[in-house]
Structure 1
């Protein structure tokens, strides 16, 4: 026994909290993160339709009319009564008197009656009385004895042929999109069709980004002995934008708990979520680990204001990844190692950012794929291995692990198309095994 300390496998009582951090499973860590943002409600705002692409809808929008709003011709030709063409053939065409010509945007003033037809253009309203449209290629023009125009119909038409009936796609009140939907070009077309010149969307979440570590230099700075440039902040900012949020870059924080806490307090009203990179391991200067260690344990009550969600996750890379609620704000502390930072963002930060915008299933989509090569090294924790996806001749997916995949390496991040999930165990995984792959955005 050494005086003034309790020795437990070489760890003093003072330091045991640093080294004996309890790892939670990835799924439990994700559940806690989403629970932390579940009560946060983003304000909605109206934006012009032209500016709404990529934004998340704040409320349900419905069809303001039937669509199409009238029976519409699907092509250029003649609107007819199908019964008048029942015996038509190329050798014995039906002769119909033309009583109108209908362009898109206009409406015929006459009714198509027995023995008559109307020349019609694509998208035009089908006249009253007509129940089919015969394509122009199956017709010919004719002139009657009195000089009137006529159409020779060379093929029998069936009722409804080449006619889009009123309400075929949407009925009045049909749902177009619900809250949380990311507005894509197809949504924009629908909203314009139904007269939504302004669209209710969620305000973009504001996500603060801090880097910690006295070794970090600004990107513009020349390298110096023992120093590296802060690239993680910019990678994280790009991923935040990709998630539909607004990054707020606040630069590098010193390895001082008081300075970090003061910085968090200063931007509390500006940010919805706070992300940090670095400072979460077990080194003497890992400032975020010190701050998180001083918080109370996980609290599941909605009124809790400051508490630790977790300070270690059973995964590699990125096991030191930590999260907390500080003064009511979610703080996710990502690893300083580039690939561990990347993986931690995809597993925890991106789902939180998506969830706060109303997305019901905020996690990465997954597929099954066959490993192209061995993952030889085992791990006590589940591993997330960067891979490139390929397609075999039979259409199945192949996961090809990338080189330079250590947590401190960034060379393969840009080429990664997915993260292969390798279960914990002594032997890793063999080529030919089926694994789950998270598809990267």
Structure 2
């Protein structure tokens, strides 16, 4: 009787709505501390502190063109074919500062990015000038002829145009990409404060699993989920620590999972969460003291996704089916990692698209359909990627979005508007 009661307990699952499961996980997320890394290593990290401009940017008025720095008032008579001849007093290349003030009747040859000399209030681009002595475009002495009227401020990038001193530039929780790297470098920040990466232990469960480099054996399959999860964790900013396969042995699972919970910030497993006799992760989570958050989510694929808290650490057990494992990670593990990293927007973005073909759904759970986005005649279409089964692997690499089919919908017609979750 005891054994029968234990087995029937496997079926005692209450499916939580996806957003409720998401909320419970996010409440358990613990953000890591901060550390400083060299600017060259900051790309892909998450900013830990607010960055303010230590000086105006640009730091000085600079020329936006190769040409001549002049006084705009000198060119007032440059109309109806009249020209103006100015004496060139010096040449100012980038990295140099002018030493001769510009007064009426004079000009300075200036390069793009060089500081505007004292007295000048406009730049005339090189193509709109002529040097009479040579008939060419070179300055550096002599005179320059100007035939166009200039306005004050013309072709000058003003000091502080982009940023004023003390202005907030980057906020905590910002993902650092190439643009952020450029801004940090421009502001003279050689070491960047970032959130420490969460260290995530990854296990696959199942005695049937083989490593990728092992020849197939009868009844065995290769473990594709662990490498996939490792790549996904790296992609979203975590430090993945693959710890191999756990055989279908409850004692081994208990020991290895407990060790991982003590050493790592999060434990992520794949497989063993269904209701079969060898689904050991489900048994482990149901044990006393496991602190189960949920053991079923009202979504397909991935309904058997399970989460528990033990010793203040999270254990998130994903389905062993590749498609379900992938979807469960994107909708639950990815935002959890994002929250641990302090991201301002940890969830994947939702877009609207046109459904490219009819879709019928079985069951009353929310369905996440792997699909790809296509632009057709100015409209965005979502095209289902192929066989819509949780065990299918090939559609993972053919998908860049998930079509959301609500729980109360059984059929969506081609041409209807749908919500899609954009995948990285």
TM-score normalised by the chain length of structure 1: 0.91
Cα distance change of structure 1 residues 291 and 217 upon mapping to structure 2, 3 Å threshold: same
Distance 2:188 2:361 in 1: 58
1:62 to partner: Cα distance: 1.5
1:235-280 C-alpha deviation (Å, 9 max, x unpaired): 1111011011111010111222322221122223431111000000
Secondary structure (helix, strand or coil) at the match of 1:168 reads coil
Residue from 328, 338, 351 that aligns with 1:367: 351
User: How far off is 1:194 after superposition?
Assistant: 1.0
Task: State the SS of the aligned residue for 1:389.
Answer: strand
Structure 1 unaligned runs (5+)? Answer: 6-10, 297-305
SS of corresponding position for 2:130: strand
User: Does structure 2 retain, via aligned residues, the 8 Å contact 1:404–1:410?
Assistant: no
Q: 2:146 aligns with which of 147, 150, 153?
A: 153
| Selected match of 2:178 from 174, 185, 203 | 185
Displacement of 1:309: 1.2
Alignment of 1:3-14 (within 5 A): 4=1, 13-14=5-6
SS of 1:56 mapped into structure 2: coil
Measured after TM superposition, the shift of residue 319 of structure 1 is 0.4
Give the alignment partner of residue 401 of structure 2, picking from 397, 418, 422: 418
Match runs of 1:129-168 below 5 Å: 129-142=119-132, 149-168=142-161
Alignment-derived partner of residue 432 in structure 1: 415
CA contact (8 A) 1:295 1:308 kept: no
Match of 2:9 in 1: 17
State the shift of 1:41 in Å: 3.0
Q: Residue 54 of structure 2 corresponds to which residue in structure 1?
A: 64
Aligned counterparts of 1:120 and 1:426: Cα–Cα separation in 2: 67
Q: Is 1:334–2:318 an aligned residue pair?
A: yes
Q: Contact 2:174 / 2:344 at 8 angstroms: preserved in 1?
A: no
Answering whether residue 202 of structure 2 is matched by residue 219 of structure 1, we say no
2:334 is matched with which residue?
A: 350
Deviations 1:127-180 (A, max 9, x none): 11111100011111145xxxx722211100001100001000111112221222
What residue in structure 2 maps to residue 8 of structure 1? Answer: none
1:391 is aligned to: 375
1:265 is paired with a residue whose SS is: helix
Q: Do the aligned residues in 2 keep the contact of 1:378 with 1:424 (CA within 8 Å)?
A: no
Q: CA deviation at 1:220?
A: 1.7
For 1:99, what is the secondary structure of its paired residue?
A: strand
Q: What does residue 112 of structure 1 align with?
A: 102
| TM-score normalised according to structure 2 size | 0.95
Query: What do the CA deviations read for 1:18-73 (whole angstroms, capped 9, x no partner)?
Result: 11200000001111111111xx2312222111111111111111211101111000
Could you list the per-position Cα deviations for residues 188-208 of structure 1 after superposition, in whole angstroms to 9, with x for gaps in the alignment?
Answer: 111111111111112221111
The residue number in structure 2 matching 1:247 is 240
Q: Show structure 2 runs of 5+ residues with no match.
A: 134-140
Secondary structure (helix, strand or coil) at the match of 1:333 reads strand
Work out the number of aligned pairs and report it: 419
What residue is the counterpart of 2:307 in the other structure? 323
Deviation at 1:15, TM superposition (A): 3.4
Q: What RMSD, in angstroms, separates the aligned Cα atoms of the two structures?
A: 1.9
SS at match of 2:127: helix
Distance between the aligned counterparts of 2:6 and 2:265, measured in 1?
Answer: 34
